[in-house]
Amino acid sequence: MTWPPLSDIRLGRFLAEPGRRWYEVRVMSAEQPSAPGEPSAAPHTATDESNEPREVARYDHLEVERRWQQYWDEHETFRAVRESGSTRPKRYVLDMFPYPSGDGLHVGHPEGYTATDILARYWRMKGMDVLHPMGWDAFGLPAEQYAIKTGTHPAETTAKNIGTFKRQLKMLGFSFDWSREVATTDPRYVRWTQWIFVQLFKKGLAYQDEVTVNWCPELGTVLANEEVIDGKSEVGGHPVERVPLRQWMLRITAYADRLASDLEHVDWPSGTLAMQRAWIGRSEGATISFTVDGYSGGALEVFTTRPDTLMGVTYVVLAPEHPIADWLIKTPGIASDERREAAQKYVAATINRSDRDRLASAAKEKTGVDTGLLATHPITGAKVPVWIADYVLGGYGTGAVMAVPGHDERDFAFAKVHGLPVVEVVSPDGELHGALEAAFTSDGTAVQSGEFDGLTTEACKRAVIDKLKSLGRGDGQVSYKLRDWVFSRQRYWGEPIPIYFPVELESPDGDPRKGAPHRVRFDQPIAVDEAELPLTLPELSDFRPGNDPAGPLARAVDWRFFQKDGRWYARETNTMPQWAGSCWYYLRFIDPLNDAEIFSQKAYDAWMPVDLYIGGAEHAVLHLLYARFWHKVLYDMGRVKHPEPFTKLVHQGMILGEDGEKMSKSRGNVVNPDDIVRAWGADTLRLYEMFMGPLEAVKPWQSGQIQGVVRFRDRVHAICTKPLSDALPDETARLLHRTVKKVTHDLDAMSFNTVISTLMIFTNHLAPQASPPREAVEKLILLVSPFAPHIGEELWRLSGHEASLAYEPWPTWDEALCVDDVIEVPVQVNGKVRGRISLNKDATEAQAREAALENVASAVAGKQIKKFIYVPGKIANIVVG
């Protein structure tokens, strides 16, 4: 089809296909920009073969979306305000704020943001005060690594990346209150992160210890177990060593019991609750003391949840990191040279592997070495061999286990591989069963257990603990898998830890900045005065960490060393982990500009706790656990009034690439939202991501399906720009009220895909109408607007309303119009469904009988009707003979 040049026409008709179709076109002058509320492009009217005119709307998504985003910015439409003493309900809806990487967003990132934005807009229209903020988790290793590679300061890189992310989020029309924007790198924010650390230090919850950590010489920092894969760093793939280092630790274990028990009070996904509980690992059992021949360093302690199986111990296992393993290797004559050499090689081969790697390999192969040492059973006095095996971790429990292969699957598998005895001491029926083919791990009756024979598992547990207590060789105990949080990082781009130490100089007039011999008294830490916070990072031209455990800040000697009251001091050169800033950002959002205190109680009372928190399941353990820990510390200080910060938690599902794989640059399957918005608009992207399936589901991106929501958006625009009627036909009224009800209920259930399906059905009903009802059209605009806010605002203005619809009351429904007058009832013949009939809901039994017999006439032909049973509105059953 060849279109005439637009310069040749203002309003006219031309024949595009001779003999078939005429078009009428109206063109707006390009010199007359549209103001908010005016159509961005005039519609054109077409006539089909019947020569009946129809309106074909044009929708310029780029112009409309840009204009309304500018309007929202200029008017601060979404600024969160809650008056003192407000009786309006409030909603604090929060996203897990992003780390602003250099790659910007891909289409998987906005899924959760879109969901929270839909609800924030919906709740505002429901008459609620809504806080919907956004900020940046901006410290971290990736920015530092980029700085090292490019020579660009991480502050510069971070600022640039934040700019990209913010542009993309605004492009998508999210209704964030940008006046509350925070970045964890902002000194005003760093001040209060450091303030929290000082409180932890004062309460004895932040302390120093020498612990075995994952040290990466290439990255020059300590890595968490989760950041080490197959003995190499997750970032860069560099070799990782297990070495003892002085570290700042946070005593999260002091809150282990509350972190576990308080999960009963939150509405979180069951899988996340299970992961949190497993990570905390609360166990009730007993600590038991064995003695090791020749070892004078104290008893060998183990923790077990099954003290009733103590009489079935056939060997003891040490972690490669255990002090007794180190003593064995370093002490000649304790065991044979062959045993010591074997132990030394095994420890060297396993000790540098991460806990995660060791547990994964232990599931496949049961490696270990017999030390030649013997341990004494605490009750029987029998001697059992001591082994070293990597399936026991030094960081969990006591770093040693009593092995009961008859009643522990892992011990059973290990015993079978290494030919160790398997003894049955718990029987399901009180009888002996000879050679066990598998470990029996359930409760039962004690057998082959001496004085404990015949006791049930629970009774045996109590009896064994009582016996151990009487002998001074054990006691009942609650234990946790959770270990204190290693908080130090030996890198530049992080919050400085606000601690300093006295410096002892060999010469009284020496200057440590100039290399004068000195000693830093790490055993005498001093907190920076709160009035002197924030302690900011020094300027460094070289961010490389090097192989110095003190970290790159140690090179900033003019920053590190300072004098106070005539004495020299040295600042802590370790920085905080990226987790620190993200532990408490939800609290700063409520009062981000407060320089007098971390937040005011007025702001806290107005907005806390967080009503809805949406983010990826990858943060199900560590971020959520650390945030809950800091919150509970603040709770004990009286700074917060709720024991848990996040009332409801939802994890959005991952959006995969079109190839069904996780989106990544290396796979080449990343879809850039800029491209989608440019081609189809932000509203289309929002609609499509919510229409793909349930929010929590994993689903692949499919570009071919975008046209479906484009057609829906354009259909809404076409319907709402037609001449409107004041009449509301009964059929449309009923469907309208049912639509409002279902959309509202599905929004409350966060079933976004079914909302869109419901709206599609309603638009299909309205589309053929030449003059759709004004009430139906205006309510459609309001229902669509949380999902597609730009076109919602545009159509609301075109329908004659001056104000933004952001705070327009949400539509309501008449329940009477939602009740079906006609119901469908199945018809059974001798108990089998043979047909279905439509009846008035008030139909009599006689009317139901007549309709049912007519419906299944062929099934009852020639047969005697013995009985007719009608359950109103449920079923009709005909019994024939």
Q: Which residue ranges make up each domain of the chain?
A: 6-60, 206-250, 283-479, 820-880
Compute the distance between CA of residue 224 and CA of residue 210 in angstroms, rounded to an integer: 16
> Is 701 within 8 Å of 671 (Cβ atoms)?
yes
> Is 306 within 8 Å of 288 (Cβ atoms)?
no
Q: What is the 3-state secondary structure (H, E, C) of 207-257?
A: EEEEEEEEEECCCCEEECHHHEECCEECCCCCECEEEEEEEEEECHHHHHH
> Is 518 within 8 Å of 525 (Cβ atoms)?
no
Cα end-to-end span (Å), the chain: 69
pLDDT at 879: 95
pLDDT at 361: 67
Handedness of CA 236, 239, 242, 248 (dihedral sign): negative
Contacts 24+ apart (CB under 8 A), 335-342: 335/371, 335/372, 335/373, 336/372, 339/370, 339/371, 339/372, 342/369, 342/370
pLDDT at 619: 86
Flag whether 665 is marked binding: yes
Q: What is the largest CA-CA distance in the chain?
A: 121
pLDDT at 53: 40
Whole-angstrom CA distances from 413 to 29, 310, 355, 417, 418 are 82, 18, 20, 6, 9
What letter represents residue 555's amino acid?
A: R
CATH number assigned to the domain with residue range 820-880, chosen from the 4 options 1.10.150.110, 3.30.565.10, 3.10.20.590, 3.90.1150.10:
3.10.20.590
- Residues forming beta bridges with residue 838, ordered by sequence position: 824
> Among 593, 590, 612, which residue's Cα sits nearest to residue 601?
590
Residue 637 has which token pair? 């200080």
Look at the pTM and tell me if it is higher than 0.85. no
> Is 810 within 8 Å of 709 (Cβ atoms)?
no
pLDDT at 481: 86
Angle between the N-to-C axes of helices 154-171 and 141-150, in degrees from 0 to 180, rounded to the nearest 10: 120
Residue 802 has which token pair? 């001056």
Q: What is the 3-state secondary structure (H, E, C) of 631-653?
A: HHHHHHCCCCCCCCCECEEECCC
Residue 568 has which token pair? 């020299």
Q: What is the 3-state secondary structure (H, E, C) of 521-549?
A: CCCCCEECCHHHCCCCCCCCCCCCCCCCC
Residue 599 has which token pair? 């937040």
pLDDT at 415: 96
pLDDT at 226: 65
Fold of 283-479: Isoleucyl-tRNA Synthetase; domain 2 (3.90.740)
Mean pLDDT, consecutive 10-residue stretches, the chain (881 aa), reads 34 34 35 33 37 54 96 97 91 95 86 97 98 95 82 90 94 97 97 98 96 81 74 84 89 96 96 94 94 94 96 96 94 92 92 72 82 96 96 84 96 95 96 93 96 97 97 94 90 96 93 94 97 95 77 94 95 95 98 96 97 92 95 98 97 91 86 92 96 94 92 96 94 95 97 96 95 97 98 96 96 90 88 90 89 90 92 92 84
Whole-angstrom CA distances from 807 to 392, 482, 780, 793 are 59, 46, 16, 11
